Amino acid sequence: MDFQTRFPTLDREVADVLFTWPPPPETTPTIEEMRAATDFYSERMKEVYKQDMPSDSEYRVEDRMIAVEGGEILVRCLIPTPISGELTRSYPLMVWYHGGGYYLGSIQTDDYFLRKICVNHRIVILNVEYRLAPEFPFPIGLNDAYDSLKWSIENGSSFNISLNQGFLVGGCSAGANYAASVVIRARDDPFFTERQVTGQFLQMPQVLHPDAIIPMEYKTQLLSMSENANAPLLTREDINRSLTTLNVDPNDTRFSVLLAPDHKCLPAVYFQISGADPLRDEGLLYEKILKAAGVPTKLDQYPGFPHAGHYALSSVALAKKLYKDFELGVDWLLKTPKKTSSSVLLSSDRADGRAIKDSSFEGN
């Protein structure tokens, strides 16, 4: 039985490519084996896109080890090379968190494409290698993500960063979860009062634990976890494994950001959502919730495309469209005005991830 028969909503071109793949292993790979496979595919993607990469003279790369609680993490800094006639020698900033189910991936995961974004959009990119589960369970990776966000502010002058031109935070899948979470935390942190995040890029985000307690009105809008439970590339079983590995409380709103008590006064959000993805509906619902809270949003959907398919299915039309839309999404975020806040929330409950009601944040 081919993929099109098993998943009739799957894109035809995607199904044809998947049909040529060997069957999955009969035994579940170990985390070490999966990490090795992820590293292999990251190197393969560099080769696939090598001809589209900017020349080394168009940007510079600086790898920094930054201090975090209990250790250090790697941050790769991509900085455009100033060009003749450029009106400014300072640039907007994007902090990026890779995907990988919280236990896979590295700065190599998106390295090839982020270099292209850096040059094409004249933007400094900090690619963060947060620590992974199970060695570092929740919230260590999330705290690494937040510490790197603060570090980018404290060290921005060495990278020619101008936050007035834009301060974006983004990620894919697990990285998008961390991006969405740190943006909410930064909104409520006095440290960011005069240097607020201006945009968030959420690519196929996980924003809700599947075992979280949710309002009744959400249940009819969250069907993809069952509809796409056995979808190619990411299954419900895969999600369960990643969350068990992460060891996170389903109702912790630092993880289940869809359930955060206040979504007002967050920066503009660009979403990329795949149709054949168990995470599809939570992404769509989160976009609705943010829009209802007055947050500017832009949403691109890819019907019949599996979760993170742009990595393994880079040759298909939907993957090429997703990459093109990625660049348009960055442009949109840089051009969308930030809604500012009139006050900063100081609730320690927010930092602990407990749901509280607080209406002191109002949009201007």
Structure tokens, 246: 């992460």
Q: Is residue 181 annotated as part of the catalytic site, yes or no?
A: no
φ and ψ of 355, to 5 deg: -75, 120
**The one catalytic residue among 147, 188, 262, 277:** 277
The residues with which 131 forms a beta bridge, in sequence order, are none
Residue pair 173/205 in contact by the 8 Å Cβ criterion: yes
**The one catalytic residue among 90, 148, 173, 224:** 173
3-class DSSP state of 181? helix
Structure tokens, 28: 């579940």
CA separation (Å) from 333 to 20, 26, 65, 146, 271? Answer: 38, 44, 28, 20, 11
Q: Alpha carbon 39 to chain centroid distance?
A: 19
Residues in contact with 105: Cβ distance below 8 Å, sequence separation at least 6, in sequence order: 38, 98, 99, 132, 174, 175
* Enclosing H/E stretch for 133: none
Q: Is residue 173 annotated as part of the catalytic site, yes or no?
A: yes
Q: Is residue 277 annotated as part of the catalytic site, yes or no?
A: yes
Angle formed at CA 153 by CA 149 and CA 158, multiple of 5 degrees: 120
Residues in contact with 207: Cβ distance below 8 Å, sequence separation at least 6, in sequence order: 176, 177, 180, 256, 257, 258, 282, 283, 286
Distance CA 250, CA 143 (A): 17
3-class DSSP state of 272? strand
CA separation (Å) from 186 to 95, 150, 151, 190? Answer: 13, 9, 13, 8
**The one catalytic residue among 307, 310, 325, 341:** 307
3-class DSSP state of 364? coil
Query: Count of CB atoms within 10 A of residue 40's CB?
Result: 10
At position 135, the amino acid (one-letter code) is E
As annotated, the active-site residues are 173, 277, 307
